[in-house]
Amino acid sequence: MSKLQHLIYTKIIGSLPAVEQKRAAFYRAQVFILLRVLESLDKTRIIATAAEIEKLLDIGQTMNHEVDDCILIVKPRTYENWLRRRRNHKPIKRPGRKRKLSDQIVALIIRFVKENPGWGLLRIVGELMKLNIKLSGTTILKVCRENGITPPPNRTKNAPVSNWANFVKCNMSTMVSCDLVSKSIYTLRGRFDAYCIAFIHYASRRVYVSPPTYNPDEEWLLQQARNVAGWLDDEGIKLRFLIRDNDGKYTPRFDDFFQRIIDTSSPPGKDGKVIRTAIRCPAQNGYIESYFSHFKRECLNSFVCFSLGQLNRIVAQHLEYYNNCRPHQSLDNRVISPDFSYPEKFDASKVKCRKFLGGLLKHYYLEDDQDNQAA
């Protein structure tokens, strides 16, 4: 609170009767607790610290602890429990129970954080779920702090709900979006830009990425569209809406091809179409933009490419990792199509690591379960 805000607040509160001033102070103390919770990692629970509880009790004492109508962050019964423990000179306990992690799990968390500096807290949660270890991001953060490790970033964002978001939510199972991504390739003849086109199915998050080309002309795009049509059939996806941006490389023949697929697969009375996003509005194509963000950050930006073959191998390896090994936060940290089974129990001695692209991407699994899948 700035000095000006504090001055205004003091003037307003000072003009109130004494009883209302005490109530206002009690409300203000709760607001500060809520602000602190909003800045913390876990925004789903309001847990007051010991100092905050003591301050509430001190303010409540000036009101004879008659706070049932103005206590908002907890139930009145909880406030009474705080007061009773204070009168009995007992420490106020935090809610929940302490969970003692084994040394093996702590060592595994530290290993994940050190070997994968780009992973966020929830990404580590998903990787642990693959090993039948169910922890929260807060627990991982606590382990990092206790062991003097810089905690991984928390990339969770609360996006506002819009009409477009509601439209997407209602049609996710029949919605696919596409976009082009480029990568510079350095050859003896100079630098050239290679292009790939990617398609993502919203409901499953499964991705298809084309082989790269130097010349993304109309014929190449139509060939990739035919390949995607086969991919849609293989995955059992009934396409109703195709989302694309306003890139000039898309031609009317490209749109007409997908419109025919949409007309064939759409149920009677429910017409679909190819939807062009608004100009300079990448949020409307957010799913494919999110995939490209992961692709570039986790993989593509780490390479300097010298041929189409090298780029094609990079794309194929990341695609296999993304579809079959990578946990996805939007899917409750599950893998899209796991090529392994989630184990019934955890055994640290059996944790193995499969490396993609020379170890840039890592997939952790239990040895027996991977062997069973291979068999």
191 and 298 in a common domain? yes
334 located within any domain: no
97 located within any domain: no
275 and 231 in a common domain? yes
Per-position pLDDT tens, the chain of length 375: 555 555 555 555 555 677 788 888 888 888 888 888 877 655 667 878 888 888 888 988 888 888 888 888 888 888 888 888 888 888 776 665 566 888 899 999 999 988 887 788 888 999 999 998 988 888 888 888 888 887 776 554 444 445 788 888 888 999 999 999 999 999 999 999 999 999 999 999 999 999 999 999 999 999 999 999 999 999 999 999 999 999 999 999 999 999 999 998 877 767 889 999 998 888 889 999 999 999 999 999 999 999 999 999 999 999 999 999 999 888 888 888 776 677 778 888 888 999 999 999 999 988 865 554 444
343 and 323 in a common domain? no
Q: What was the pLDDT predicted at 300?
A: 94
259 located within any domain: yes
Given the structure tokens 């406030």, which residue do they identify? 79
Number of structural domains the chain divides into: 3
Contact 330, 290 (CB under 8 A): no
Q: What was the pLDDT predicted at 186?
A: 96
87, 121, 137 - which closes a domain = 87
312 and 187 in a common domain? yes
Q: What was the pLDDT predicted at 95?
A: 60
How far CA 63 is from CA of 22, 34, 92, in Å, comes to 7, 22, 21
127 located within any domain: yes
35, 54, 87 - which closes a domain = 87
323 and 343 in a common domain? no
347 located within any domain: yes
Give the separation between CA 311 and CA 307, rounded to whole angstroms. 7
DSSP β-bridge partners for residue 327: 335
Q: What was the pLDDT predicted at 252?
A: 94
120 and 73 in a common domain? no
pTM of the model: 0.64
115 and 246 in a common domain? no
120 and 264 in a common domain? no
363 and 311 in a common domain? no
Neighbour-count burial for 276-286, b at 16+ CB within 10 Å, e otherwise: bbeeeeeebbb
98 located within any domain: no
96 located within any domain: no
117 and 78 in a common domain? no
Task: Label each residue of the chain as H, E or C.
Answer: CCHHHHHHHHHHHHCCCHHHHHHHHHHHHHHHHHHHHHCCCCCCCCCCCHHHHHHHHHHHHCCCCCCCCCCCCCCHHHHHHHHHHHHCCCCCCCCCCCCCCCHHHHHHHHHHHHHCCCCCHHHHHHHHHCCCCCCCHHHHHHHHHHCCCCCCCCCCCCCCCCHHHHHHHHCHHHEEEEEEEEEEEEECCEEEEEEEEEEEECCCCCEEECCCECCCCHHHHHHHHHHHHHHHHHHCCCCCEEEECCCCCCCHHHHHHHHHHHHHHCCCCCCCEEEECCCCCHHHHHHHHHHHHHHHHHCHHHCCECCHHHHHHHHHHHHHHHHHCCEEHHHCCEECCCCCCCCCCCCHHHEEEEEEHHHCEEEEEEHHHHHHHHC
Give the separation between CA 170 and CA 166, rounded to whole angstroms. 6
Q: In terms of residues, how long is the chain? A: 375
Q: What was the pLDDT predicted at 70?
A: 85
206: CATH: 3.30.420.10
Q: What was the pLDDT predicted at 319?
A: 95
198 and 148 in a common domain? no
222 located within any domain: yes
Q: What was the pLDDT predicted at 22?
A: 81
Domain that holds residue 367: 103-155+339-374
228 and 361 in a common domain? no
